[in-house]
Amino acid sequence: MANTQNIVKTPNPQGKGLVPVLAALTEAGNPGWVPLPKSISQIANELFTSMFVLESRFSFKPVPQRSYWLYRDPLDSQGRFSLSLLSPEQWSATVYGQVIGQCVLQADLTWTLELSDEAAADNEMMAYIAERRRRFGQELAEAKQVDDLLPVFQHNLPFYQRVFASALAGSLS
């Protein structure tokens, strides 16, 4: 007769449901180090850039210290952006659209964006970014505290964007 007393049955052996969500939140929000204090202007700049990137479409889990590329989607009637693992040299310009720049997820879960020469020379793109920055500055000025602007939970974002926005809020608070 087999000893069945020590067998532990898991009700969800494939790990479906909330376990990946909780694991992703824990992993993204716990960098394993204490971030250095940041100035208000540095927090504002990092928050603006990070939310600009996180509002783009992507369906993969970004990894810190890796380069990604931001494109303006040519097939999207609203001109939204897509974050890709592929650099412009790795695929056709007719597929990816306008190259906005190279993005890197930093160890503190903020994003950096280095604009491409093409985007920097595009007056319409620069005006779009300036308008977004102006609106962000207005929201910042109207907020009672910076924490009011942190993306603790953004219900309008897809899964990975929401996870990293929440982790970003923890990083900047």
Over the stretch 19-34, which tens digit does the pLDDT of each residue have?
A: 454 454 455 445 555 5
Is residue 13 very low, low, confident or very high in pLDDT (cuts 50, 70, 90)? very low
Q: Give the pLDDT confidence score for residue 71 in this predicted structure.
A: 94
Q: Is residue 155 part of a domain?
A: yes
Nearest to 73 by CA among 61, 60, 84: 84
| Angle at 21 (CA atoms; ends 19, 22), nearest 5 degrees | 65
Percent of the chain residues topping a pLDDT of 70 = 60
Q: Of the spans 95-99, 148-152, 159-163, 166-170, which averages the highest pLDDT?
A: 95-99
**Token code pair at residue 106:** 């930093």
Q: Where are the beta strands (DSSP E) in the chain?
A: 67-72, 81-84, 98-105, 111-115
Task: Report helix, strand or coil for 57.
Answer: strand
Q: What is the pTM of this model?
A: 0.69
Residue 132 forms part of a structural domain = yes
Q: Is residue 1 part of a domain?
A: no
Domain of residue 137, residue span: 39-172
Establish if 154 belongs to a structural domain.
yes
- Would 137 be classed as within a structural domain? yes
Number of domains the chain contains:
1
Residue 23 in any domain: the answer is no
